[in-house]
Amino acid sequence: MSVLGYVFDTLATMTLVQLLLAFLGCMGYALAQGGLLAPRGRHWAGATALAAAAAFTVLANDWTAGIMLVAFAVAGLGLFVAAAWVLSRSMFAAGRSAATDVAFAPNHTHTETEADQDLSRPADSGYASPRPPRRRVQSA
């Protein structure tokens, strides 16, 4: 039997506790790497991921297979993040028009200075709501 076949056999014999630890490790790693939490929360998520991965390795039938499964999980999450980044960059580049490039070019000069702007009204964001404005109805 090959080494990879042995690792896959280990996957088939995992207990519920091992599955829970694997889930905690993957989720903790994802939260520690992402921007969803504050820095302190990311530290706690990283510590949780490390503790869960260590406990998973200790509880595995063979510790070498446990370490390989943890490494595969980290590599798999990394590949997922890389694929999402490439897809995001390709979608962003395809959706950008030439007018957007000109409007946000660093050497683009504005004819209106900050002193010339009317600051008594909010700036126009360019967003037009598809719905008509709501009318207020006063009750009698």
The per-residue pLDDT for range 96-126, each reduced to its tens digit, is 655 555 555 555 555 555 556 666 666 666 6
Whole-structure pTM value: 0.58
Which residues, other chains included, contact 108 with Cβ-Cβ below 8 Å and sequence gap of 6+? 102
Per-residue pLDDT, 83:
94
Going from the C-alpha of 113 to that of each of 108, 117, 118, the distances in angstroms are: 13, 7, 11
Instruction: List pLDDT tens digits, range 57-89.
Output: 999 888 888 899 899 999 999 999 899 989 988
Which residues, other chains included, contact 14 with Cβ-Cβ below 8 Å and sequence gap of 6+? 22
> SS3 for 125?
coil
